[in-house]
Amino acid sequence: MQSLLFYFTMKFNDIEFSNGKNTQHSAPKKLLLLALSLVFLTIVPLYLLTTSRSPLPSPNVDISDLRNIGIVKECDIFSGKWIPYPNGPYYTDATCSLIIDQHNCMKFGRPDTEFMKWRWRPEKCELPFFNAKQFLELVRGKMMAFVGDSVGRNQMQSLLCLLSSVTHPEDISHRYTADTTYFKRWFYADYGFTLATLWSPFLVKSRDTDPNGHSLNSLMSLNLDQADEAWASQIENFDYVIISAGQWFFRPLIYYINGQIVGCHNCYMENITAVTMYYGYRMAFRTAFETLRRLKNYKGITFLRTFSPSHFENGAWNEGGNCIRTMPFTSEEMKFDGYYLEFYLTQVEELRKAQKEGRKGGLKFELLATTEAMLLRPDGHPNYYGRSPHSNVTVADCVHWCLPGPIDTWNEFLLYMMRKEAWRSFYEKLQKTIS
């Protein structure tokens, strides 16, 4: 397959380097390339179907449907429902040694297993199973970073386990930072692939402001017009960036722009204008996207992973709330509205602006709309069955997600979008070449 891809690349180059001259041989070359491309569009879907090493059986997918994923038909994979899948997950805590204690619900005695036996089904199409070999081929020689808070790292940990059926990476975090808890880098030598997580819960510059010191709900200040250098200074050479933020914006925050206070959320301070948390959320994503667009050497694809809902019941997180459900909600039981929808719409509005501006410079910004699916999964959190070095074990974790669990679907979404983007790029290049 790699040689086939190389062959087509060379054929593209043969024509592109002709400097637009209309020689007597150019028309036959273009016709030949078109014919070969049609063959390619048939062979690749067959390759993708037959090289799956997933522990799960392949769904019944028509080849024409697979081919259309990135070329003709657009399928909304983000709207659908959870259906029973008794075969279970791709991996377990016994087969993946890379699960950290915070997500390792089975290690710490979670008694039920049904939460691992559901699969997301889009309304009008099939979501392909995760194919680790295919993913690794797509990212061969490339770099991918998850930028955001610990839920972003949660997705990266899921990806590590999904890829473990093919190969294991080397932890190279210590080569780049002394803080190897919040800033991780893994290297897959067989594929020349680097996977990283860059801790930045607000995406913008932040600092502690509370006179009583830092705590889970202490006052902090955000410079909404300055990207956090913790990620911005390292991101330029990455090929894929998955960016996200969420739960930290609920805390008391003072907002600054151009070094001046412009408002605050839940700070209850005199002479400071009270604004909603959505204001800070919007501005943080706007600054993050603008930063990526302005980086001289950044040529990567940016994926916005949308707001990840928590599911505290019987009280707030600091008032004895927990998440003891063992089954998903139906869409009738849990509506996609309220602050979940407001957070989601705020993100998507800023993404659309970034897409419009990004096209001018050849940058691509894509959507990973996970909110609707995860809103229906109150059963997927660790609750009391996870351990973090910095957490109070008496506080239920209804924010992060068990591994294995429904968060593995995020990486099914990611692979689907990466495949679609690869098809789109190939097709666009094909059109330019034969036009």
| 150 a catalytic residue | yes
Is 309 in contact with 369 (CB distance < 8 Å)? no
Structure tokens of 126? 């099939």
Is 310 in contact with 316 (CB distance < 8 Å)? no
CA–CA distance, 393 with 389 (Å, rounded to integer): 10
Is 219 in contact with 209 (CB distance < 8 Å)? yes
Q: Closest by alpha carbon to 407, among 118, 40, 25, 193?
A: 118
Which of the residues 150, 158, 173, 221 is marked catalytic?
150
Structure tokens of 224? 């909404």
Q: Which amino acid is at 366?
A: E
Report helix, strand or coil for 363.
Answer: coil
Which of the residues 200, 221, 400, 408 is marked catalytic?
400
Q: Which amino acid is at 358?
A: G
Tell me the sheet residues that pair with 208: 220
What DSSP string runs through 198-219?
EE-SSSEEEEE--TT---TT--
Is 246 in contact with 150 (CB distance < 8 Å)? no
Q: Which residues contact 263 (CB under 8 A, 6 or more apart)?
A: 254, 255, 272, 273, 274, 275, 279
Which of the residues 225, 228, 397, 408 is marked catalytic?
397
| 244 a catalytic residue | no
CA–CA distance, 70 with 18 (Å, rounded to integer): 28
Cα Dmax for the chain: 79
| φ, ψ dihedrals at 108, nearest 5° | -100, 20
CA–CA distance, 102 with 396 (Å, rounded to integer): 11
Q: Give helix 408-434 / helix 2-16 axis angle, nearest 10°.
A: 40
| 397 a catalytic residue | yes
- Sign of the dihedral through C-alpha 341, 78, 153, 359: negative
DSSP 194: E
Q: Which residues contact 204 (CB under 8 A, 6 or more apart)?
A: 222, 223, 224, 225, 226, 227, 228, 283, 284, 287, 288
CA–CA distance, 348 with 366 (Å, rounded to integer): 10
The answer to whether the peptide bond before residue 309 is cis (omega within 30 degrees of 0) is no
Active-site residues, by number, are 150, 397, 400
